Structure 1
């Protein structure tokens, strides 16, 4: 049975809620295609019993702990190298990490070390019923459409680091809650995108009229 690896997000001694969101999605995927769901935790101390129990109850089949003083706080180089070693050892088919500040930092580096691809800002993950392929939904073309990326037979690198068909995912699983931040759109931007051509032309004419009015003096003469 293939492995699906979730990279845990840790804040101090606490496991961040984004980890449990990813574990829930991983468990959901495993119902459509059998996976062993593993979670990797990087820290300078062992997890206490409550945290361990929470990860197991959250959907993990296995917990992989990497403990070192250099992992006490987020540090790009030791984090990335440690995760690369875990992935090469475990050889998971899919890797999921939260789209947090640290996740956005180490995932591109991890993908580069493993010579793999990375699908960022996913708002949806699914398994295609007929083929078992992983489907990743994410914003495209400036966020104007939602594209689904299909990855046939993803597989992690083997022990010597040679890439086969590998997939790394940086998942944002609650698109409604986070898409505005990720895409950088305000409410006004959304209204502009949804405007019809007639509304758009009317607004342009109104702006031109205002500019012409501002360029005329009170006596009706054109300003130089």
Structure 2
């Protein structure tokens, strides 16, 4: 029951990534300026998936996810949306795939266990087979690890992760003395190399830089230089 088109693990086509970046700029989801990240870094851009806040935006976002997955060739049997942002993302993707003729089960989790009704933390279809986790971005891989634990505990196989944007920057870890330090891999690379999951990203930081390079003049030139400097300082290959 796999979703196949193109070579396995192929990156999303540049044209798709550029269209997605433009869509995010137009929707106000991708902003430029100075923003503090969870790691305490001052980022020159901010991706806020919470601003995919109406039916048209969410529907188009789901189309981008579906196209990127088709291009990747990644196979899966069902979708899992981790609370909270992953819930609408996974639901929208499942609707879009059904529209395309690929109807797959969908499940999500609650942050707190329900003590009445059906109870528990899992909602939707039973977790089974190869599971695709859907989220917006991956900052430290924490949400992915939590989802993997839930999926394995249910007897299913965490197989892949689909995200909107790969920031392609160094992850951080806490040292025994409580300090935070950079590590030489990104959260996406950690999930791929250490956890053994496929990762499909609609766009990457490299695609954002390509977009800024193509849109020269005025503020875009300043944004490009700031984003490039940020990547040179915190980026991974």
TM-score, normalized by the shorter chain, greater than 0.5: no
TM-score by length of 2: 0.34
Provide the TM-score with structure 1 as the length reference: 0.35
Larger Rg: 1
